[in-house]
Amino acid sequence: MEKISRTRVVDLLNAETFGTAVNAKGWVRTRRGSKQVSFIALNDGSTIHNIQIVVDLGKFDEELLKLITTGACLSVNGILVESVGSGQKAEVQATEIEVLGACDNSYPLQKKGHSMEFLREVAHLRPRTNTFGAIFRIRHHMAIAIHRFFHERGFFYFHTPIITGSDCEGAGQMFQVTTMNLYDLPKDDNGQIDYSNDFFGKQASLTVSGQLEGELAALALGAIYTFGPTFRAENSNTPRHLAEFWMIEPEVAFNEIEENMQLAEDFIKYCLQWALDNCAADLQFLNDMVDKELIERLKFVLNNSFVRLTYTEGVSILEKAVTGGHKFEFPIYWGADLAAEHERYLVERHFKAPVILTDYPKEIKSFYMKQNDDGKTVRAMDVLFPKIGEIIGGSQREENYEKLKCRAAEMGVPEKDIWWYMDTRRFGTAPHSGFGLGFERLLLFVTGMSNIRDVIPFPRTPNNAEF
Ligand code: 4AD
Ligand code: MG
């Protein structure tokens, strides 16, 4: 076969000059045609669209043609011509075809319209479908948008550890990391596991949040963000929880809660605008196939302010709903942790807009949140989104050494685990604030997908770590 350097399908489809010899490589999505001619839809992942390859069957060897089946990988030399019928601007009239990889007939993606559940079972192949190609291209673009947003505003990308000795959220949902022999664990005199000979000489786990280390950095570099994998061993089999997810955590010295809220709103809107500007074809596909209101919803959120109210105000709206006859599965009263159904009632039924709830009861929030003067609430903020519920959780931080120490003790956070965190409150403390955005929750919103397992390439959930 003549050596012609490869042009990506996206570039072939955008070409302005025709009649030239080109090479395309990619996987066969479909093949149709007559006894004389085949039309092959070839996709290389560079775009949702396929390039049509026109094959004059008389010019090719029959044995070769037999190998051109759905899923096979081809290298095609041909002439790029303006297309008349294929719905695309350009197509390739094949002159030479090489089958780089034949595809045997057990290929699971033979037809269109597989269920999402089935596609999760073939997560090693699902990126080759239109839907998952679109999702993973959008996932990439959102990561770029996030870095650009913070970089443009002078934030520094800061790397916090994945292996840690402290439980930031205090929820006890950590995966342990050990090199000890689990069949023969050393015990101390009290029958407790003796970690002194373990790899780190102490108990260690995978991080549930980079926040505590992020705060150290913010109190030195001014404004930082983290963007990394996060692990939670919560046994929640819901469409919105993963055991391994990615979180973005900005932390800013001198910001108080109001600035923190504004940052969160600006940040999400920047990402949504980026998706509309850079992922138009993929969003259009998802809008057509997955969620007919997707693009409208993205624009709506972009063009409207997030509603801001306190937890106390939110609870009284929910209590009125109950009095008015609305049924929730979980009870609602001041002090209750809000369930997804409560959050979604506020967002979808009451305000019909994203909501930022602030000033939650201290009992249901973490030890590090700044305490309000009322003695009951803390300067927490959760951003609640349509279809998703909580997309961001954050707060202003308690910068007062005594108050923080007292709250940590009350909540049973051992001082030996966080002495270094406490030090910032002794050595030039300052007001500061931050939040965490669940990357996959953002992707649920941007793609219109309804299960979080479908916006991460290889989901980790209870009983599931295949691939
Ligand atoms: O509300 P969370 O637990 O807050 C923190 O971890 C803080 N340390 C953040 C900070 O202030 N720097 O988690 C933050 C966000 C949630 O709002 C949600 O979007 C996402 O992380 N999240 C999950 N996403 C997927 N699967 C899970 N199991 C998640 N748990 C939290
Ligand atoms: Mg939260």
Is residue 439 in a domain?
yes
User: What's the gap in Å between 41 CA and the centre of ligand 1?
Assistant: 41
Q: Are both 388 and 440 inside the same structural domain?
A: yes
Last residue of a domain, one of 49, 84, 101: 101
Q: Are both 145 and 294 inside the same structural domain?
A: yes
Report the nearest-CA residue for atom 29 of ligand 1: 241
Is residue 340 in a domain?
yes
Answer yes or no: is pLDDT of 57 > 90.
Answer: yes
Is residue 285 in a domain?
yes
> Would you state the pLDDT for residue 48?
97
Q: Are both 40 and 136 inside the same structural domain?
A: no
Last residue of a domain, one of 85, 101, 117: 101
Share of the chain above pLDDT 70, in %: 100
Is residue 181 in a domain?
no
Query: What is the sign, positive or negative, of the torsion defined by CA atoms of 236, 240, 242, 244?
Result: negative
Which residues partner with 381 through β-bridges? 358, 394
Both tokens assigned to 249: 């955590």
Q: Are both 302 and 368 inside the same structural domain?
A: yes
User: What's the gap in Å between 341 CA and the centre of ligand 2?
Assistant: 15
Split into its structural domains, the chain has a count of: 2
Q: Are both 250 and 362 inside the same structural domain?
A: yes
Distance (Å, rounded) from C-alpha 172 to C-alpha 150?
Answer: 31
Q: Are both 70 and 133 inside the same structural domain?
A: no
User: What's the gap in Å between 338 CA and the centre of ligand 2?
Assistant: 10
Distance (Å, rounded) from C-alpha 75 to C-alpha 28?
Answer: 10
Q: Are both 92 and 147 inside the same structural domain?
A: no
Over residues 357-406, the pLDDT tens digits come to 999 999 999 999 999 999 999 999 999 999 999 999 999 999 999 999 99
Distance (Å, rounded) from C-alpha 105 to C-alpha 224?
Answer: 51
Q: Are both 275 and 168 inside the same structural domain?
A: yes
Q: Are both 249 and 151 inside the same structural domain?
A: yes
Full domain range(s) for residue 150:
126-173+208-454
- Could you tell me the CA-to-CA distances from 422 to 248, 256, 405 in Å, in that order? 23, 19, 8
366 residue type, one letter: S
- Could you tell me the CA-to-CA distances from 154 to 187, 261, 269, 433 in Å, in that order? 49, 18, 18, 16
Is residue 366 in a domain?
yes
Mean pLDDT estimate for the chain: 96
Give the residue, out of 247, 268, 355, with the most ligand 1 atoms within 8 A of its beta carbon, to mutate for a pocket test.
Answer: 247
Query: What is the sign, positive or negative, of the torsion defined by CA atoms of 235, 310, 267, 220?
Result: negative
> Would you state the pLDDT for residue 23?
98
Q: Are both 216 and 261 inside the same structural domain?
A: yes
What CATH number is given to the structural domain containing 16? 2.40.50.140
> Would you state the pLDDT for residue 172?
77
- Mean pLDDT for 435-457 is 98
What CATH number is given to the structural domain containing 344? 3.30.930.10
Over residues 177-205, the pLDDT tens digits come to 999 999 999 999 999 999 999 999 999 99
> Would you state the pLDDT for residue 88?
81
Is residue 180 in a domain?
no
> Would you state the pLDDT for residue 367?
96
Query: Ligand 1 — pocket residues by CB below 6 A?
Result: 168-169, 209, 211, 232, 234, 241-242, 245, 247, 249, 390-395, 434-436, 438, 440-441
User: What's the gap in Å between 190 CA and the centre of ligand 1?
Assistant: 36
> Would you state the pLDDT for residue 84?
81
Furthest-apart CA atoms within the chain: distance in Å: 85
Is residue 121 in a domain?
no
Q: For residue 380, what are the contacts with CB-CB under 8 A and spacing of at least 6?
A: 311, 358, 359, 360, 365, 369, 393, 394, 395
Report the Cα 114 to chain-centroid distance in Å.
23
Q: For residue 288, what are the contacts with CB-CB under 8 A and spacing of at least 6?
A: none
Q: Are both 21 and 142 inside the same structural domain?
A: no
> Would you state the pLDDT for residue 110?
86
User: What's the gap in Å between 203 CA and the centre of ligand 1?
Assistant: 23
Q: Are both 93 and 148 inside the same structural domain?
A: no
Report the nearest-CA residue for atom 19 of ligand 1: 438
Over residues 95-150, the pLDDT tens digits come to 999 999 999 999 999 877 899 999 999 999 999 999 999 999 999 999 999 999 99
- Could you tell me the CA-to-CA distances from 400 to 55, 202, 370, 394, 407 in Å, in that order? 74, 29, 8, 18, 11
Ligand 1 closest atom vs CA 250 = 12
> Would you state the pLDDT for residue 86?
63
> Would you state the pLDDT for residue 185?
95
Q: Which ligand is nearest to the CA of 224?
A: 1
Over residues 236-271, the pLDDT tens digits come to 889 999 999 999 999 999 999 999 999 999 999 999
332 residue type, one letter: I
Is residue 188 in a domain?
no
Residues with CB under 5 A from ligand 2 (ion): 393
- Could you tell me the CA-to-CA distances from 452 to 104, 254, 421, 447 in Å, in that order? 31, 34, 33, 11
The phi, psi pair for 151, rounded to 5°, reads: -60, -45
Q: Which ligand is nearest to the CA of 437?
A: 1
